[in-house]
Copies of this chain bind each other. A is one copy, B any other.
Amino acid sequence: MSNKIRRSMPLFPMGTVMKLTELSARQIRYYEEHQLIRPERTEGNRRLFSLYDIDRLLEVKDLLDEGINMAGVKKILLQEENKEVHSNVKEAAGKDKKDFTNEEVRKLLRKELINAGRFHRDDLPPGERYRYFH
């Protein structure tokens, strides 16, 4: 019923993520090298990031800004991830889960997120309205 974006859906290209996170492409690729994110790829091998990935990148950035090095960041984030894996597994175990294909997920996304938001234009920053209704 909400129009939240499915956080795991690969949607954003490098350029968008760079702007959103204020990280360089080099940094983003470096963090991927260290397994802190695992963006999907298009058929043509271009990265597609999810909101998860963006969250992750912002966390990495914060931790590095605090003076923690990559080893520390990895420890912290990967241990967090493990907690989530466990809770997810537990949750899934009790849920008689179904496997969705990418295509199915896209359809879900369309219905659940995007359609839900149609005609609900109430979350714009005031100054932005005029860019769409000049």
Contact = CB atoms under 8 A, between A and B. Distances in A.
Interface of A: 2-8, 11-13, 15-16, 19-21, 38, 42, 48, 51-52, 54-55, 58-59, 80-81, 84-85, 88, 92, 95, 97-100, 105-106, 108-110, 114-115, 117-119, 121, 123-129, 131-133
A6 B123 contact: yes
8 contacts: A7-B123, A8-B132, A20-B110, A20-B114, A55-B117, A81-B133, A97-B126, A99-B126
A116 to B, nearest CB: 10
Interface SS of chain A: helix
Nearest to A10: B16
B132 A105 contact: no
A34 to B, nearest CB: 16
A3 B4 contact: yes
A16 B20 contact: no
Contact of A88 (B42, B106, B133): B133
Given A88-B121, A128-B105, A133-B81, A110 B58 contact: yes
